[in-house]
Amino acid sequence: MKELSLYFSYPFVRYAIIVGILIALCSSLLGVILVLKRFSFIGDGLSHVAFGAVSVATVFNLTDNMVLVLPVTIIAAIILLKGGTGGKIKGDASIAMMSVGALAFGYLAMNVFSSGANLAGDVCTTLFGSTSILTLTKEKVMLCIVLSVIVIAIFILFYNKIFAVTFDENFAVATGINTRKYNLLIAIIIAVIVVLAMNLVGSLLISALVVFPALASMCVFKSFLSVTVSSAIFSVVCTSVGLLISVLAGSPVGATIVCIDILVFFAFYIIGRVKG
């Protein structure tokens, strides 16, 4: 406890905890929607798109890569969701194409044009989030807080509409709900959370942060509200524990959080099997 209190005296540790909890909360809300809409893998696809955008921003030495990364990821999310519901190239295929293409383009751009001395380190940090969460500036923390509050507020305000669009889009259309508008809203939320989560777990581990809390909660609970609440608690607790272990043990932040998620998921799975 003395060592832990010493670490908490450093601002970067407090920033990491705040940002980690907010991202975990937002990701858990998003995860329930994506799992029910059969778009669990979209977080992984968008994270690779964001990696490509980060690579381009690095090549052009942009001081704030969010200016490029966020719009590109939002556009990709809209294209993927639209393609998954009505396009000629269906959901899983479009996600695979965009994911692999963006990852390859980003890595190629960093190899050919980047002037950084530690290319392997830059790529590893972006893919696995090894140190970025512990090097957050006060401005980035404030931006994360603002975006997270907006995401949570939108989810609460439009909860009923999001619920209807998630479970039965055809019925939602029949009741007069503008499903295109709410699918666009969901796409924007997905993109914002993916960009934020890159600082926490990196590009390759975002899907775990999105999917594990929702799947674990569905093993035990049955209603949409109870699954959403359980998923939020699961995600916040696992992320907090993972961050603390990472700080104390010096292990990679993203990988530690995902391993905690996996362990707790299996505990939920066993509880669900026992309940029948």
| pLDDT at res. 133 | 61
Q: Which residues contact 137 (CB under 8 A, 6 or more apart)?
A: none
Average of per-residue pLDDT across 232-244 = 90
Instruction: Report whether 210 contacts 40 (CB < 8 A).
Output: yes
Give CA–CA dist 94/258, Å, rounded: 26
20 closest CA partner among 253, 189, 265, 207? 253
**pLDDT tens figures, 74-130:** 888 888 777 655 555 555 677 777 778 887 887 787 777 765 555 555 555 555 555
Average of per-residue pLDDT across 23-33 = 85
pLDDT > 60? residue 68: yes
| pLDDT at res. 109 | 78
Least confident interval from 147-151, 208-212, 248-252: 248-252
Percent of the residues in the chain that have a pLDDT greater than 70, as a whole number: 83
Exposed (0-12), middle (13-18) or buried (19+): which is 253, by Cβ within 10 Å? buried
187 closest CA partner among 29, 49, 69, 30? 30
Average of per-residue pLDDT across 228-233 = 92
Give CA–CA dist 135/208, Å, rounded: 22
Instruction: Report whether 187 contacts 81 (CB < 8 A).
Output: yes
Place of tokens 């609460």: 156
**pLDDT tens figures, 160-197:** 888 888 877 788 888 888 888 888 888 888 888 888 77
What are the extents of the domains in the chain? 20-275
Give CA–CA dist 143/149, Å, rounded: 10
Select the more confidently predicted residue: 216 or 11: 216
DSSP 117: S
pLDDT > 80? residue 42: no
Select the more confidently predicted residue: 1 or 14: 14
**pLDDT tens figures, 91-105:** 567 777 777 888 788
pLDDT > 80? residue 33: yes
| pLDDT at res. 131 | 52
268 closest CA partner among 220, 235, 213, 209? 220
pTM: 0.79
pLDDT > 70? residue 232: yes
**Which two three-digit tokens encode residue 34?**
């994506």
Q: Could you please state the CATH topology (level 3) that the domain comprising 20-275 is classified under.
A: ABC transporter involved in vitamin B12 uptake, BtuC (1.10.3470)
Q: Within the chain, how many helices (H) and strands (E) appear?
A: 13, 0
Average of per-residue pLDDT across 4-10 = 75
Instruction: Report whether 30 contacts 193 (CB < 8 A).
Output: yes
Cα torsion angle, 226, 231, 237, 238, sign:
positive
Average of per-residue pLDDT across 259-276 = 90
Burial 154-185 (b: 16+ CB within 10 A, else e): bbeebeebbbbbbeebeebeeeebebeebbbb
